[in-house]
Amino acid sequence: MKTILVATDFSVPAENAAHYAIQLAKQIKTNVTLYNAFKVPADAPMAAQVAWPLVNEEDMEQESDSNLTQLVEKLSNNACNLDTFCPEITFESEKGDVIQVIKEAVKRKKIDLVVMGMAGAGQLVQWALGSNSKKMIDEADFPVLYVPSVATFHGIKRIAFATNLSSDDLAPLQFLCALAKPIDAEILVYHITSAESKRFEEVKGIDQDFYDNVVSKLDYKKIKYENIWHSDIHEGLRWIRNNEAVDIIAMVHRQHSLVDRLVNGSYVHKLSRFTNMPLLIFQQKNR
């Protein structure tokens, strides 16, 4: 991994995510680029019907660059000692829609990981960058680490990955192995299932397919597989959090998946159980 891209709107959750990203970059020895997408008010829908102040694109870009410069100074205050890798911190600002700007930057710069902030308990729907974090979950085709506003970095020692035994989990697990190997972190692969579901998986050969198509292709020793016996996925995740000292929970975003339930509708309040736990979201293959 060469560079972590941090999307920021200069909010408190976004700044906390940037601090988290810097500490992560120190541990995995990579650089950080801060990215801000700005919009000129006059370009917004209905702008012609509103008496906007005279603000042009150049002014907006200068303001964005000024805020980014101040953020870099804050992040640089966490001085690196002689025994610590010191990431290079760069920044860019660009006019446009947040999601599209980030997607194009990831492709152009060949970014491996994007970091974004999200609000904590009491503000579950109001993610940092407005509704863009939720939209990013739906549209991103790259890994995104969502950092709660209350999360602090204590090193990455254990990563929990929630699987449904899909062959699509190979690429995410290979990513996690590449992330974990340089820092000697442990990967805990959990399958939350019930006795009835497990019998169905065995009859259909789903567990064997997962072994053949995923497990057998992973070249990493510090990886453990375990079933969490629970019919409620949320309760299974709570068990993982309460019983294992994990630093990140990772999962794949699929249609009508756990991620959907965590960020949509009546399920959103259940995310409050994990407001101090960064979530690493991967996209389903061939979406």
pLDDT at 77: 72
pLDDT score, position 78 = 67
Instruction: Quote the pLDDT of residue 25.
Output: 94
Terminal alpha carbon distance of the chain: 23
pTM for this predicted structure = 0.84
Q: Cβ distance 23 to 151 under 8 Å? A: no
Q: Say how far apart CA 38 and CA 59 lie, in whole Å.
A: 11
Measure the CA–CA gap between 168 and 227, rounded to whole angstroms: 18
**Cα–Cα distance measured from residue 168 to residue 252, given in angstroms and rounded to the nearest whole number:** 8
Q: Give me the pLDDT at residue 269, please.
A: 35
Cα pseudo-dihedral 77, 81, 85, 88, rounded to 10: 30
Domains of the chain, first to last:
3-148 (3.40.50.620), 158-283 (3.40.50.620)
Pairing of strands 158-163, 186-193: parallel
What's the length of the chain? 287
Tens-level pLDDT at each residue, the chain (287 residues): 889 999 998 888 899 999 999 999 999 999 999 999 887 665 555 444 554 454 567 777 888 889 999 999 988 876 677 677 889 999 998 888 888 899 999 999 999 999 998 865 444 334 444 456 667 777 788 999 989 888 899 999 999 998 889 998 999 999 999 999 999 999 999 998 888 888 888 888 898 999 999 999 999 999 999 988 887 777 777 777 776 688 998 888 765 555 555 554 333 334 434 557 888 988 876 55
Neighbours of 130 (CB within 10 A): 12
The pLDDT assigned to 271 comes to 41
152: left (phi over 0), alpha (psi -120 to 50) or beta: beta
Distance CA 63, CA 10 (A): 11
Q: What is the pLDDT of residue 134?
A: 67
Which pair of tokens denotes residue 165?
């035994």
DSSP-assigned states of every residue in the chain: --EEEEE--S-HHHHHHHHHHHHHHHHHT-EEEEEEEE--GGGSTTGGGS---S--HHHHHHHHHHHHHHHHHHHHTS---TTS----EEEEEEES-HHHHHHHHHHHHT-SEEEEEE--TT-SSS-TTTTHHHHHHHH--S-EEEEETT-------EEEEEE-S-GGGHHHHHHHHHHHGGGT-EEEEEEEE-HHHHHHHHHHTHHHHHHHHTGGG---SSEEEEEEE-S-HHHHHHHHHHHS--SEEEEEE-TT-HHHHHHSGGGGGGGGGGTTS-EEEEEPTT-
Nearest residue to 150 via CA among 275, 7, 273: 275
SS3 sequence, 6-67?
EECCCCHHHHHHHHHHHHHHHHHCCEEEEEEEECCHHHCCCHHHCCCCCCCHHHHHHHHHHH
Contact residues for 65 (Cβ-Cβ < 8 A; gap 6+): 91, 93
